[in-house]
Amino acid sequence: MSTQHWPYPRIVAHRGGGKLAPENTLAAIDTGAKFGHQMIEFDVKLSADAQIFLLHDDTLDRTSNGWGVAGQLPWEKLSQLDAGGWFGNAFSGEKLARLDEVAARCRQHQMMANIEIKPTTGSETETGRAVAQAAAMLWQDQTAPLLSSFSFEALEAAMQTEPQLPRGLLSHSWDPQWREKTTALACVSIHLNHKVLTAERVAELKSADLKILVYTVNSPERARELLKWGKTTALACVSIHLNHKVLTAERVAELKSADLKILVYTVNSPERARELLKWGVDAICTDAIDIIGPDFG
């Protein structure tokens, strides 16, 4: 996939439903769809018996009534947990979601997906390989999901397994080696914390023909700025995914010079979103799905 064929929208619902539903659940995806979002982002990892399911943290404690390292438990145990009660009584009984269930829900809502590969520590290669294989099969009749990860090893395994699936490199901070890494992974996008972006950084990224996705922008003003502002080879990435906090307009320009798409996370300020979009950022991941909607700009 080249950045010339970029089917994804500018606004992405973070973890399915942003701040309005328990993250990484089917209920969250339904919430994102309720607000008209055309694309969601979610995190996946492997159970002890190699089932692919949604969870952000290594451990279960924060977002379920379970405890301990999730990847050390079989799906039979994980499937019995309550993944919604921690968020609110209205979601009590919501279960952890498997990737195949999410694919079906995305098809139902006609939503695209950014699958963040979030391996349990030590299982990077295994997880990247398994997620890529499953994604290629589950989304074969839909727009290909964008695979992203902070783990170079996981993205490399995904590239070697299903090279046709688009990849985006995630980064919390501004990495001086962004060009080398995204090129090695053949990335189409870079995903960043929106706070690291300036108009100059957007221009730098755009010069590399990378799409820029930012996270987590919850301010409409920041979202508009980022949109207004708005490639690489070992992993053949089409995008780079960054914490928006590391971006400046200059950095965006630098990334764009490498023909990379730029995705940023997690932007919850409209002001910051506007700034990033103004710089040329390609997509923004937000928790504020009710304020920074699918038509934000």
pLDDT tens digits for range 225-243: 887 777 334 456 678 888 8
Which is more confident, 182 or 258? 182
User: Could you tell me the pTM of the whole model?
Assistant: 0.89
Inter-residue contact 222 to 272 (CB < 8 Å): yes
- Is residue 244 annotated as part of the catalytic site, yes or no? no
Does the CA dihedral 66-71-73-76 come out positive or negative? positive
Burial of 123 (0-12, 13-18, 19+ CB in 10 A): middle
**Per-residue model confidence (pLDDT) at position 4:** 59
Dmax (CA) for the chain in angstroms is 50
Q: What is the pLDDT of residues 1-39, one digit of tens each?
A: 555 578 999 999 999 999 999 999 999 999 999 999 999
Question: Would residue 258 count as lying in a domain?
Answer: yes
**Per-residue model confidence (pLDDT) at position 214:** 84
- Segment 120-142 mean pLDDT: 98
Which CATH number is 111's domain given?
Answer: 3.20.20.190
**Per-residue model confidence (pLDDT) at position 2:** 52
Mean pLDDT computed over every residue of the chain: 92
Cα-flanking dihedrals φ and ψ of residue 25, to 5°? -125, 165
Question: Would residue 227 count as lying in a domain?
Answer: yes
Inter-residue contact 164 to 1 (CB < 8 Å): yes
Q: What is the pLDDT of residues 264-295, one digit of tens each?
A: 999 999 999 999 999 999 999 999 999 999 99
Q: What is the 3-state secondary structure (H, E, C) of 22-86?
A: CCCCHHHHHHHHHCCCCEEEEEEEECCCCCEEECCCCECCCCCCCCCEHHHCCHHHHCCCCCCCC
- Is residue 191 annotated as part of the catalytic site, yes or no? no
* Distance between CA atoms of residues 30 and 210, nearest Å: 30
Question: Would residue 296 count as lying in a domain?
Answer: no
**Per-residue model confidence (pLDDT) at position 3:** 54
Tell me which residue of 133, 142, 118, 129 sits closest to 39, measured CA to CA.
142
Question: Would residue 5 count as lying in a domain?
Answer: no
Does the CA dihedral 113-124-284-220 come out positive or negative? positive
Q: What is the pLDDT of residues 40-84, one digit of tens each?
A: 999 999 999 999 999 999 999 999 999 999 999 999 999 999 999
Give how many domains the chain has, as a whole number: 1
**Host domain of residue 85:** 11-286
Question: Would residue 295 count as lying in a domain?
Answer: no
Quick one: pLDDT band at residue 172, thresholds 50, 70, 90? confident
Question: Would residue 1 count as lying in a domain?
Answer: no
Res 187 pLDDT > 70: yes
Among candidate residues 14, 194, 241, 244, the one labeled active-site is 14
Question: To 5 degrees, how large is the angle CA 120–CA 123–CA 125?
Answer: 130
Among candidate residues 5, 56, 191, 194, the one labeled active-site is 56
Query: What does the buried/exposed string (b/e) look like for 38-59 if buried means 16 or more CB atoms within 10 Å of the residue's CB?
Result: bbbbbbbbbbbeebbbbbbbbb
Question: Would residue 261 count as lying in a domain?
Answer: yes
- Segment 118-146 mean pLDDT: 97
For residue 159 the two structure tokens come to 């590239």
Res 130 pLDDT > 70: yes
Question: Would residue 153 count as lying in a domain?
Answer: yes
